Structure 1
Amino acid sequence: MSKTIAATFETRRDAEMAVEHLVQEHKIDRKAVTIAPVSDENSAGTETAGADIEDGRVAKTHTDGEPKLAGRLKVSADVDPSLADKVETSFATYGGKAA
């Protein structure tokens, strides 16, 4: 029986880094992990990060139809209960807050 562990993140980059850590370090099946906006509004997070910054210096002024920075993102992982502590630690490492 699996256990669902979830956390919310401020940026898409942090959420994706947490997922990559779960998949690469703990060998969790990527299909068992999801990333979704916390609210009904489409979102790429609440803070700019990585690709959200043009030329590495200036924040984008528009997104050309891409998701807005409008809300937190939730990462959920369905894992064996024996991995729960590792998942929670990975989420915390990348700024995740328990959901």
Structure 2
Amino acid sequence: MNETAALTLIHQSFDAVNATLPAAERLSFSPDMILAGAGCGLDSLTVTSVFFEVESRLASEHGRSVDLFSAPFLTDPGQTMTARQLAVWVMQERLRP
């Protein structure tokens, strides 16, 4: 899995979450959107839903279990994470033995 594939998987996860939301609450995806930390405009339920969707897709499509909720970017309150940074992290985790 490369960064583009990981970013596509995250985008698809956003699309899946958007399908469950009323039209007025749907999100516009951008690789530079902030998902965690200062400047994040998403509510915690949406972020949680997207992360669960990403984890589910990684498991079903790539046979790899990844725990986003124990990722360093969530445990450090001073850190900001964009969708692109999440893609890089997912790619790195996917490559771990």
TM-score interval, normalised by the smaller of the two chains: 0.3 to 0.5
Structure with more of its chain in strand, by fraction:
1
Rg larger in 1 or in 2?
A: 1
Structure with more of its chain in helix, by fraction:
2
TM-score by length of 2: 0.35
Which protein, 1 or 2, shows the higher relative CO under an 8 Å CA cutoff with sep ≥ 6?
1
